Structure 1
Amino acid sequence: MFGKLSSTNNVSILLFFEGWWEWDDDCYYVGTLSKRCLTLLSFAINNCTSPPKFSVNIQEVVYEMAASAPAFKQAFSTQRICLLIGFLICSTVAGPAIGADLRCPDYVIQHAPLIWLHSDDPYMPSDLLTHIQHTSPALDGKTIPDIPTLDLDNLESLNKFGDEVALTSKDDPLSYPEWIHGATPDADGRISNATPCVVVLVEKGERDLDAFYFYFYSFNEGMNISQVLEPFNRMVKGEKAQSGMHFGIYYSQHVDGASFKWDDSALTKTDGRPIVYSARGSHANYPSRGNQIHNSVLVDYCDEGRRWDPILSAYFYHFDKKSFTVTRLDPPAKSSPTPPSSSNLTSFFYYSGRWGDIAYPASDPRQEIVPKFGLKRIESGPTGPRHKHLVRKGLKPDQRRKMGWMEWGVGIYMSLYPCCLRGWRRWVFMGLIIAVLSGAVIGAVVAVKKYRNRKYTRLQAEDIPLDDWALEDEALLSSSDEEDVDKPSKFAKRH
């Protein structure tokens, strides 16, 4: 059996070629396939996908078999040729090239993002297990009692208490204990003695594979509500990816995100690996450095501080969307160390609660809230990978976030400010609005009057000229006067 395993950037194809050969006892080579036929068949198999991991030269294999054996008989019947074609067609499979050893495909590493952490960010990527060890599960603000020691292999046991369980810090987060600062990468971008990255592979179709790279930080400063974008300096967003484009990249940012084509000019790559800039404190992901805008008016800051290569210290998994299960994969060569075989490290994936404290109430002195806008300084901890829309049609999640009225209004204000609301422009704009509203009101009144006049109908009668009405009135008046003259008055009769 000759096999070829090859992979493209987002496709893995496995081809099998199988032939049947018989050896003759009389040292006689029966039948032959032309060299041209063998060459074409070999070329077809070896070039169905690119780049190949290894190639198969059928011609050389056949002649080596014939030369090294006492006799060789080729038994290629019509039925077997048809069966061979069927094998070639049906043995093309989608998804990651995961062999029997369950090893992560190399191309997942070759195209994995590289991270630039902010130079002034005090909160580095954190080890998942260390985070669990410094937290206690709580429900409705109360610690859940009689819980065994938690780790990555039994964290899902908390699901029996519901989805509102929160891994609450044993220390006051705002006292900034040492463990929440995470681990700093070295000069090579490697984080030692910590695993802050999780890679999940999802087969989404016949030719598409999604690779999710999750980065874990024990502490996020959250939204920088003390710094709001000056409206005149509003930044222009990058071009969105076309609908249905699967081969690209999606950057998760706070409550939303941005997607790009793989060849988009907004992206920067190093040796085929996209560059991601992690915002200071908030750890939102952006394709470029500098000031970044989110939630219409808030600002994130990105620069090239510390370089981090997440896949050098990561866990790798394959997610089956039908059974909703994950399987641990061995890391590719020269990547993360292989976890011990005694631990499957999958239980944490199924945990349905939150990986941090619940948002503090307004009465808590540690909480800050922006008046009118309702933005909180400290939000609830995030949920895990199972809640991150692993099954999606395109690059973006299928269920998009609904923008609130307040955020929508702020967005409109920010759009109008440079041209219509800045300085003296506001008075001109207000005058224009008043004129438009006045015109609309007047037009509505006129339209209503016309509509009402249409309801009156003309009586079906003969038209009478106005002159005839005047003559008739004079005749009536004159006849009345004559009658008064003819009748003697009471005063005259008395005298």
Structure 2
Amino acid sequence: MRIITALVGTVLVACATGASPPVNRHEAPKLPAFVLEYAPIVALDEGEVLFPADIGKQLLNTIPKVNFTKVKGEPHSLTLNNLNELNKLGNTSVFLTAKDDITDIAREPSWVHGVKPNSRGETVGAVSCAIVLRTHPDNSTILDAFYFYFYAFNNGGHVAGIPEDFHIGDWEHSMVRFQNGVPTEIFLSQHSDSGEAFSYGALQKIGKRALIFAAFGGHANYATKGSHNIPVLEHLNLSAILEAVIPANFLQDKTSMGTLWDPVANAFAYNYTFDFNPHRSAEENNNWLTYFGQWGDEQYPLTDVRQFAILNIPALAYIMGGPNGPVFKHISLSSVCASPECDQTVIWIGEPPEDMLPTWEMHWTGDERDDESIDWFWKEFYADSDRSKMDENNATSIDQIFHAFANLRLLSSGHLSDQPLFMDMTGEEFSYYMTYSDYCRLVTDALAPFYDSPWWTRIWTVQEVILPPKAKFVFGPISVDMSCLLEAFAALACHMFEPCCSELFSRCDFRVRKCFRQLGSVLTNIKNMRASHGDGTNVELWETLTTFRARHATDNRDKVHGVLGLVNTWSGQPIIPNYRTATETIYCQAAISTAIGTQSLFPLHFPLQKHACPTLPSWMYRSGCSYFEAFWKCLCWDMILHMSETAGIAISARSKSIESYEAFANREAVLQLDKRFQTTEDTKWGQYSQSDYLVEQWINGLTLNTTFFVTDSGYLGLGPPETKIGDEVWCLFGGQMPFILRPVATTQEVILGQGKKQLHQVFGTCYVHGIMDGEIANNESIPAEILYLS
């Protein structure tokens, strides 16, 4: 028979007045004094609201369930004395499920907040700790004292403002290894099987007792205060791109010197006399320690309206399954570390002067305590026992870090306080966002400072990002290599158009789609240009001008000057920055240089609308609109999608601009005038199925905000919305599409001594059915003429 027997001692006497019913105890040796003398003290975080909770009261607020269904045959009154009877009804599949909806914050139950320790560190009326002792069978001089800490609720944290790893019930623990009654090593648990082990002398002390820091919300135990990376990514089996782009501080714990808790002031204590396998011991008749089920709700499936997961990864879900109990915490291991993930690095805390040593009293006095005196520490590895070398080693490491960053371009999107992603959400207004709409709002609010940062809109930014061999983008406390960021977004954007995601993406919140579109407009162009510079591809002036035309400059001449550093090949004479030259002159010089150097009319292949510079000719490109805006104005892609919460479908709405409406009206009028244009059935606008979502976007894009025309020769075409009766269609040498030109009423002498010439104003390219495959150029009966563009 494998038995866990209760120990009778002063700790058990202290818990007699607690809210939990005492467990059945057999006569056993009294609790060794050194187990209490060296019991760790826990510093809760300053912002903590989920305090230690009574172990027995958890049973009053939960119902045992298996597969989300209440078990049949459970004890009429479930207590710590009979909890292990649930093993017969499902063993490890039993979940102590909260009676209250833990996702309904408006009616959040008070019991999840536990009991805040008083000024003496006691959780009055609550037994929140269990001590389990194990003497090593092969060496009776070694005793491991496990101190298990219980919390009613675990607030896992937030990633990009999205809540993650919330669950009912939370077990954390520390273990002190004693040899002949002297503490030698200590283990601190950190979420499930993770943790760190130290020599006992390494940790800060209050008297003889080790001081450990419990993380905010998640309660993981650490040796120091501050921020601590959670190695959750190692267990997620992510793609190589995601692993590369997600930083190590993707998920962090935060610790500080808040309320101090003395766990052994109210605690149960037990002697672990034999090893046992809980998976084979469902019938053993012991107390609550031999309950093998879970201490919280079962993890909600992603189909549950209350559930969601970051990147759709179950291990990063909002609501996680409750934890198992102390018997699963590797009590029988011979090593100090509980698992291979355990970090066995030793941290040595230097001892401050004798008169500055912290005392028990000075740390129970609330706001008057001085925790700065215990903040000195140096890192030391097992291989180096000479502490005198540490200053030199640290200095070398710091030098290496600074030299490494000297070869990088650091890019920042703004001050930390301006970014909602890193705002303090731990106060009274803290809430859990449950609806899909709120989730989308969190995503967009978190990313808004990223893609709305003025840094993205600067013309000089492109050279800062593209020219350095390496670049790191800094977003608050997160830094990521720019090349990894660009590759990750490219892969994500491409995946959005796969059949599995296209429909869902088309129906998601409009703000999310806007976010990705704006990110795409800034990241994709930078990625392509960095790739061109990396592989030696020729980059010409006109490519850079059109790619980054939407970026702003205090001086409009920098629209050209700001990209000259990216150009690595010139068809003609290079342009030299000259701030004595007028803006109009520089723009014309760039356009003419491109046209002559490439023997093409590339400058005419863009929406040629009025510019802030009124003296610019009509053939000059408009530098004020984005590349994407230029694209949809050419293709008239001015459809707006938004989410219908009730119908659950994407709805289209035509642009409300005057030009778009007139273009649509002209199109409808033509359909009514000529029977050949009539459709066989009514067009159904607005609803998108998975199969026709992309197709309908292209159809709308090619037809809206254009003018349908018929030439005097009978050709059908689509032109810019400004097209009027009397305009002319021309095929120009060097152009890739026909152009809409309009004769100007006045004439002008273009070439000295050759008289005045008729001028034509350029409105843009057009589609003319029947001449798109070179029919005009191959028709020798059509003469070539010389045109003069205004």
**Normalized against structure 1, the TM-score is what?**
0.53
Task: Determine if contact 2:195/2:338 at 8 Å carries over to the other structure.
Answer: no
- CA shift in 2, pair 1:142/1:261, >3 Å: same
State the shift of 1:370 in Å.
1.2
Task: Determine if contact 2:215/2:253 at 8 Å carries over to the other structure.
Answer: yes
Which residue in 2 is equivalent to 1:262? 200
State the shift of 1:366 in Å.
2.6
Q: Structure 2: how far apart are the matches of 1:420 and 1:389?
A: 45
Structure 2 counterparts to residues 262-411 of structure 1, below 5 A: 262-264=200-202, 267-295=203-231, 296=248, 297-322=250-275, 347-371=287-311, 375-398=316-339, 400=341
Alpha-carbon displacement from aligned partner over 1:392-428 (angstroms, at most 9, x marks no partner):
1211025558xxxxxxxxxxxxxxx967795569962
Which residue in 2 is equivalent to 1:177? 109
1:108 alignment partner, SS class: helix
- CA shift in 2, pair 1:289/1:309, >3 Å: same
Q: Is the aligned partner of 1:154 residue 2:82?
A: yes
2:93 alignment partner, SS class: coil
Which residue in 2 is equivalent to 1:221? 155
Alpha-carbon displacement from aligned partner over 1:418-477 (angstroms, at most 9, x marks no partner):
67795569962579xx9xx99xxxxxxxxxxxxxxxxxxxxxxxxxxxxxxxxxxxxxxx
Task: Determine if contact 1:222/1:378 at 8 Å carries over to the other structure.
Answer: no
AA aligned opposite 2:254: Y
Alpha-carbon displacement from aligned partner over 1:186-235 (angstroms, at most 9, x marks no partner):
1111111110000100112412111111100010112432369xxxxxxx
Runs (4 or more) in structure 1 with deviation over 4 Å come to 322-325, 398-401, 417-427
State the shift of 1:361 in Å.
1.5
Alpha-carbon displacement from aligned partner over 1:90-121 (angstroms, at most 9, x marks no partner):
xxxxxxxxx97521101001111101112221
Q: Structure 1: how far apart are the matches of 2:252 and 2:81?
A: 38
Please, which of 56, 63, 72 is the counterpart of residue 129 of structure 1? Answer: 56
Q: Structure 1: how far apart are the matches of 2:218 and 2:39?
A: 21
1:137 alignment partner, SS class: strand
Task: Determine if contact 1:152/1:348 at 8 Å carries over to the other structure.
Answer: yes
Task: Determine if contact 1:392/1:398 at 8 Å carries over to the other structure.
Answer: no
State the shift of 1:300 in Å.
1.4
Which residue in 2 is equivalent to 1:428? 469
State the shift of 1:165 in Å.
0.6
Q: Structure 2: how far apart are the matches of 1:270 and 1:134?
A: 35
The size of the alignment, in residue pairs, is 285
Alpha-carbon displacement from aligned partner over 1:316-371 (angstroms, at most 9, x marks no partner):
0000124679xxxxxxxxxxxxxxxxxxx951101111000011111223323111
- CA shift in 2, pair 1:372/1:147, >3 Å: closer
Q: Structure 2: how far apart are the matches of 1:357 and 1:261?
A: 36
Alpha-carbon displacement from aligned partner over 1:275-316 (angstroms, at most 9, x marks no partner):
111111111111111222212321111112211100000000
Structure 2 counterparts to residues 28-107 of structure 1, below 5 A: 102-107=29-34
Task: Determine if contact 2:195/2:341 at 8 Å carries over to the other structure.
Answer: no
Q: Structure 2: how far apart are the matches of 1:121 and 1:322?
A: 36
AA aligned opposite 1:106: A
Task: Determine if contact 1:223/1:377 at 8 Å carries over to the other structure.
Answer: no
Q: Structure 2: how far apart are the matches of 1:284 and 1:153?
A: 28
Structure with larger Rg:
1
Which residue in 1 is equivalent to 2:476? none
Q: Structure 2: how far apart are the matches of 1:349 and 1:392?
A: 18
Q: Structure 2: how far apart are the matches of 1:346 and 1:186?
A: 33
2:298 alignment partner, SS class: coil
Please, which of 245, 253, 264 is the counterpart of residue 190 of structure 2? Answer: 253
AA aligned opposite 2:198: F
2:154 alignment partner, SS class: coil
AA aligned opposite 1:198: A
2:212 alignment partner, SS class: strand
AA aligned opposite 1:281: G
Greater mean deviation of Cα atoms: 104-113 or 367-376: 367-376
RCO greater where, 1 or 2, for CA within 8 Å and sep 6 or more? 1
Q: Structure 2: how far apart are the matches of 1:250 and 1:313?
A: 21
AA aligned opposite 2:306: R
Task: Determine if contact 2:84/2:286 at 8 Å carries over to the other structure.
Answer: no
- CA shift in 2, pair 1:254/1:227, >3 Å: farther
Which residue in 2 is equivalent to 1:235? none
AA aligned opposite 2:31: C
Q: Structure 2: how far apart are the matches of 1:147 and 1:101?
A: 30
Task: Determine if contact 1:158/1:165 at 8 Å carries over to the other structure.
Answer: yes
- CA shift in 2, pair 1:120/1:400, >3 Å: closer
Alpha-carbon displacement from aligned partner over 1:12-35 (angstroms, at most 9, x marks no partner):
xxxxxxxxxxxxxxxxxxxxxxxx
Q: Structure 1: how far apart are the matches of 2:465 and 2:186?
A: 41
Unmatched segments (≥5 aa) in structure 2: 1-25, 163-182, 232-247, 279-284, 343-403, 412-463, 471-482, 484-526, 536-790
Q: Is the aligned partner of 1:141 residue 2:68?
A: yes
Q: Is the aligned partner of 1:212 residue 2:149?
A: no
Task: Determine if contact 1:222/1:379 at 8 Å carries over to the other structure.
Answer: no
Which residue in 2 is equivalent to 1:202? 134
1:219 alignment partner, SS class: strand
1:218 alignment partner, SS class: strand
Alpha-carbon displacement from aligned partner over 1:156-196 (angstroms, at most 9, x marks no partner):
11111231110000111133201111111111111111100
1:311 alignment partner, SS class: helix
Task: Determine if contact 2:184/2:201 at 8 Å carries over to the other structure.
Answer: no
**Normalized against structure 2, the TM-score is what?**
0.34
Q: Structure 2: how far apart are the matches of 1:428 and 1:380?
A: 45
Q: Structure 1: how far apart are the matches of 2:260 and 2:197?
A: 22
1:365 alignment partner, SS class: coil
Q: Structure 2: how far apart are the matches of 1:421 and 1:247?
A: 46
2:159 alignment partner, SS class: coil
AA aligned opposite 1:305: G
